[in-house]
């Protein structure tokens, strides 16, 4: 009996499958017949067939049908109808791009609608909307723009196109800042791929480095300003959402290989296809570079230790890679991404900065010194239209293996030891020892779920209203923690089990958000509120409300926006745990364990102009920011030690013709208040007062050859660090302070306590004395590139820093860190 029932189920399944396949084949045949009629000039017949079956078409055929209907309208000189159908196409697929075989009128229309702020942005309000409607200033970067700027990683692309955003590399990480707010690593800006968070739940970091492939990117949507009302406690200063190609866009296999100076090797591959309602995309990218070797002279740079060779732009012994899969079936989406990143620090850590020889140091799990991350991201989501309500649910899993392997100091030096959290016995052991390093490693796991919806509660001639809502939950845990110090390149101190236990822990986060968007004729009100409730590892709680409100006035050729938003970012788990270890295990009584979340209030006024002249679009934005409880590193612990009030103007735009494309942006910014460790500064630290970029791309008279140029201007910057003339005095005093403190631990007398108090005053005074201003001069960098295309073959060549300009930056480092000189890469790509 069971066999009979099973057989019947098999037969029924095969029957339904055959019927479904037969219906799909019939609809495909109808579309193919309409396309053939269009190709032979029977436009009316083609249009009739499509309109009669439009509602029956599955998603992929409906997209093709809207494209063909738009072409039919253009063929009948019905420009307005063609534009309406093109907009429907873009609503169905906001990231559609015409092919080179499409009529130029259609290509121009698609690009004009997009440039005219068509429905291509989904990040700003968690729904598709035009750039005119987004509540905050937003920058859209397309795949062609990525190629034209010559950027070799996400960091360089963002710095080229996003006003207010600039490179702020520290010593051992690829970092970027928004409007002068930054930290030791890239942890103030949320980075997503297709809406999936990449930022670590332990460190808040998602470095825009070579572990994010540029070839997979169809476009990048960048929200400039706080975005916690939608995305919670990571999006302090902005949101970057990377939109990948769809399988239908690739429609085959694309491969690319590149080679350049300083040992650069690069490889990329993409496989994409769409079969009826199934869309499939698989990508892989790999990059390695030995790095640029440069001699650093102690006499000319003010090094605290010996001269020597450093490596700039080194990736480490293992290459960075990015492998991912996107699979869609109707309303069901699956996403998986694994990334590996390893960055070699040019110099030793903190204010000991000096050259070092990486090959001398022992390996941990095959790794030499550097910042290394191996991460896995998986997301499964399903969406469904229920009347006027669109619902989407998703579950996600994230795992990261984090390693921070730092060289502290290479040369033997006793005075350094007093600044590190070592007891007297360890300090005696390390006296006159060199090759001192620190190794930190941990594995994080996060499971999260999200349910969100959109309700179109009104839609008529005068009013359009939408209410978005959602709830989220995440559970984060960190385990397998290692924390150890080493000396003489290969020896390690015993790993204390107490430190490993201190590092472990878990945290949960629950939040809910609601957003109202109501349009009355030319006016739009966009308001949102999110509540985050977080339970930390120590059972303390974070409760944060994140509001946003924007008023928008739209006209056909221009629009204005006035917005206020507040965001926060909780102190990274790693910072709080590091302070806990220092306070409890190393008996550092003056360390604050309970770090507060950082917060930012922002007011913005934006003016957009659309097609004021043919091909010209531009935006002018004024902002005022108030940041509180900014976290900074002081020696080995982190503190809520900063406040900054900043204001500025941002100008960006584009001008396009058939032969020429220009994208430009400029930023002027300054601080009204900048307080760090109780001291006021009249400038933003490492914050250029003026920045400008211009990217030119033009088609040459030589067929299929396109050239591009990127000009980047940055005004002088200022930072504050330890002046070498006083450095030895500070080290000597710190060394004596460490010895005195150990004496007090062993013999806590009143006399020693009084002397410690006096030493505290002297050291505080000395730190203020040696905290002096250092200027980095203005610079103009020039990148050049060329692309030559022969059918499916593309040859390209890009040069970074054409004139080999030597310059330095400091970021959170206390000394100047040399940056890349002239780098170049040649590539060959082919589509099968």
Q: Alpha-carbon dihedral of residues 761, 763, 767, 770, nearest 10 degrees?
A: 120
Split at pLDDT 50, 70, 90, the class of 566 is: very high
- Is the pLDDT score of 90 beyond 90? no
Residue 569: how many other CB atoms lie within 10 Å:
28
Give 16's pLDDT tier (boundaries 50, 70, 90): very low
- 């070799």: which residue's tokens? 152
- pLDDT for residue 724: 43
Residue 777: pLDDT over 50? yes
pLDDT in tens, 578-628: 888 777 766 666 677 789 999 999 999 999 998 888 889 999 999 999 999
pLDDT of 74 higher than 90: no
**Average pLDDT in the chain:** 85
224, 163 contact by CB (below 8 A): yes
Rounded CA separation 53/59 (Å)? 13
Residue 688 tokens, joined: 């250029």
Residue 809 DSSP symbol: E
In the prediction, which pLDDT does 19 show?
A: 42
Which of 98, 138, 153, 22 has its CA nearest to residue 820?
153
The span from the CA of 812 to the CA of 686, in Å, is: 9
For residue range 201-255, what is the model confidence (pLDDT) as tens digits?
999 999 899 999 999 999 999 999 998 888 888 899 999 999 999 898 888 999 9
Instruction: Identify the pLDDT of residue 300.
Output: 57
Q: What is the pLDDT of residues 792-815, one digit of tens each?
A: 999 999 999 999 999 988 877 767
pLDDT of residue 5: 43
Q: From its phi and psi, is residue 24 left (phi > 0), alpha (psi between -120 and 50) or beta?
A: alpha
pLDDT per residue over 326-359, tens digit each?
A: 999 988 999 999 999 998 999 887 666 788 999 9
- Sign, Cα dihedral of 33, 39, 44, 50: positive
CA distances in angstroms from 781 to 693, 778, 825, listed in the order given: 10, 10, 17
Across 310-324, 435-449, 753-767, least confident range: 753-767
């Amino acid at each position: 009996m069971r066999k009979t029932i099973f057989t019947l189920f098999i037969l029924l399944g095969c029957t339904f499958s055959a019927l479904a396949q037969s219906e799909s084949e019939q609809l495909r045949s109808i579309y193919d017949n309409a396309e053939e009629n269009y190709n032979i000039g029977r436009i009316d017949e083609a249009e009739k067939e499509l309109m009669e079956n439009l509602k029956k078409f599955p998603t992929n055929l409906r997209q093709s049908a809207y494209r063909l209907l738009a072409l039919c309208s253009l063929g009948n000189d019905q420009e307005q109808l063609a534009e309406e159908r093109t907009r429907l196409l873009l609503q169905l697929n906001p990231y559609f791009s015409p092919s080179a075989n499409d009529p130029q009128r259609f290509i121009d229309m698609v690009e004009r609608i997009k440039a005219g702020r068509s429905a291509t942005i989904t990040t700003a309000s968690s729904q598709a909307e035009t750039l005119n409607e987004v509540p905050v200033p937003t920058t859209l970067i397309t795949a062609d723009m990525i190629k034209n700027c010559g950027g070799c990683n996400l960091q360089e692309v963002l710095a080229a196109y996003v006003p207010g955003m600039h490179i702020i590399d520290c010593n051992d990480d690829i970092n970027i800042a928004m409007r002068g707010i930054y930290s030791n690593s890239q942890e103030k800006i949320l980075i997503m791929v297709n809406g999936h968070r990449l930022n670590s739940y332990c460190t808040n970091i998602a470095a825009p480095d070579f572990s994010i492939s540029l070839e997979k990117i169809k476009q990048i949507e960048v929200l400039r300003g706080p975005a916690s009302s939608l995305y919670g406690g990571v999006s302090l200063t902005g949101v970057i959402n990377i939109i990948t190609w769809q399988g239908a866009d690739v429609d085959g296999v694309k491969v690319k290989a590149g080679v350049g100076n300083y040992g650069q090797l690069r490889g990329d591959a993409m496989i994409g296809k769409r079969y009826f309602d199934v869309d499939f995309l698989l990508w892989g990218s790999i990059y390695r570079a030995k790095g640029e070797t440069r001699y650093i002279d102690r006499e000319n740079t003010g090094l605290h230790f010996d001269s020597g060779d450093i490596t700039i732009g080194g990736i480490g012994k293992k290459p960075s890679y990015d492998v991912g899969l996107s699979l869609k079936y109707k309303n069901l989406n699956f996403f998986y991404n694994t990334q590996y990143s390893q960055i070699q620090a040019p110099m030793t850590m903190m204010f000991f900065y000096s050259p070092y020889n990486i090959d001398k140091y022992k390996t941990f799990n095959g790794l030499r010194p550097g910042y290394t991350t191996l991460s896995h991201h998986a997301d499964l989501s399903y969406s469904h239209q229920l009347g006027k309500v669109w619902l989407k649910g998703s579950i996600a899993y994230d795992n990261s293996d984090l390693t921070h392997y730092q060289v502290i100091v290479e040369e033997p030096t006793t005075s350094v030891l007093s600044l590190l959290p070592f007891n007297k016995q360890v300090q005696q052991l390390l006296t006159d020892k060199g090759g001192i390093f620190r190794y930190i490693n941990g594995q994080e796991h996060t499971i999260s779920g999200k349910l969100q919806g959109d309700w179109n509660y009104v839609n008529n001639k005068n009013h359009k209203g939408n209410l978005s809502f959602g709830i989220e939950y995440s559970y984060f845990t960190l385990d397998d923690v290692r924390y150890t110090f080493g000396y003489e390149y290969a020896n390690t101190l015993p790993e204390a089990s107490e430190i490993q236990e201190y590092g472990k822990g878990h945290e949960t986060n629950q939040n809910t958000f609601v957003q109202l968007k109501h349009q009355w004729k030319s006016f739009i009100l966009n308001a949102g509120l999110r509540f985050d409730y977080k339970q930390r590892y120590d059972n303390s709680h974070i409760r944060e409300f994140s509001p946003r409100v924007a008023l928008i006035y739209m006209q056909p050729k221009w629009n204005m926006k006035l917005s206020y938003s507040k965001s926060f970012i909780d102190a990274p788990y790693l910072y709080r745990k590091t302070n806990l270890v220092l306070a409890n295990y190393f008996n550092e009584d003056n360390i604050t364990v309970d770090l507060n979340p950082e917060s930012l209030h922002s007011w913005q006024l934006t003016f957009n102009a659309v097609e004021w002249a043919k091909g010209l679009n531009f935006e002018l934005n004024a902002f005022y920011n108030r940041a509180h409880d900014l976290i900074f590193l002081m020696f080995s612990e982190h503190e809520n030690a900063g406040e900054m009030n900043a204001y500025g103007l941002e100008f960006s735009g584009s001008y396009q013709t058939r032969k020429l494309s220009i994208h430009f942006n400029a930023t002027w910014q300054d601080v009204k208040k900048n307080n760090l460790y109780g001291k006021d500064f009249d400038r933003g630290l490492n914050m250029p007062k003026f920045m400008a970029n211009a990217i030119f791309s033009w088609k040459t008279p030589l067929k299929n050859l396109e050239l591009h140029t990127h000009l980047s201007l940055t005004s002088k910057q200022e930072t504050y660090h330890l002046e070498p003339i006083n450095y030895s005095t500070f080290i000597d005093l710190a060394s004596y302070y460490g010895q005195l403190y150990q004496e007090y631990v062993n013999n806590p007398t009143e006399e020693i306590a009084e002397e410690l108090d006096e030493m505290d005053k002297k050291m505080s005074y000395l730190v203020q004395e040696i905290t002096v201003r250092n200027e980095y001069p203005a610079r103009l960098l020039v990148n050049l590139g060329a692309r030559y295309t022969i059918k499916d073959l593309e040859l390209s060549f890009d040069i970074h820093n054409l004139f080999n300009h030597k310059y330095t930056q400091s970021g959170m480092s206390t000394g100047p860190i040399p940056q890349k000189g002239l780098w170049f890469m040649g590539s060959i790509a082919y589509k099968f």
